[in-house]
Structure 1
Amino acid sequence: MQSVDEYHVASFVAQVVPAAIDQVCEKIAALPGGEVHIQSHQGKLVFTLEASSDKQIAQQMDLLKDIAGVLSLAPVYHQYTSE
């Protein structure tokens, strides 16, 4: 059973069709706790998601992988703390 006082942060690398990079960045930024940290003209993104459970992180990841223009999405790091 998960505590409501958990904090999760996960980082990801994504490969995106270069023409869709702005739209994908907007979708990431629109998610609660979503933040794009770096992007390249070749369509590579590094971003993080923050949430209160690993289930929320997984749900957000599922939403992102189905966005038009996303070619690949790879988790890099996931950390959580409980208060």
Structure 2
Amino acid sequence: MVTEKMIGGLPLAFFEIDRQAVILKIKGVGEIKQRLASIGIAENEEIIIVAKNAQSCIVKVKESKVALDFKMTNKIIVKEKTEWTN
């Protein structure tokens, strides 16, 4: 079993609802990163999954809620936010 600790992060798609995370990396080319950054999704930002279904999930970043498909959530690498996370 591959764990978050072994690889330094997991795709956001694997996180559970209401679990706070910090974005470590966004996989993809500049256009994808720019589009996500324009809606507040960028490295070192906090993110929370607020709802999920078979095709997509709704995330909260800053004070906004955004719907993302699972293809996109697999490109967002996160780690669980703890009291030790900067």
What range is the shorter-chain TM-score in?
0.3 to 0.5
TM-score in terms of structure 1 length: 0.38
Q: TM-score, normalised by structure 2?
A: 0.37
* Higher share of residues assigned helix: 1
* Greater RCO structure (CA 8 Å; 6+ sep): 1
Q: Which is greater in Rg?
A: 1
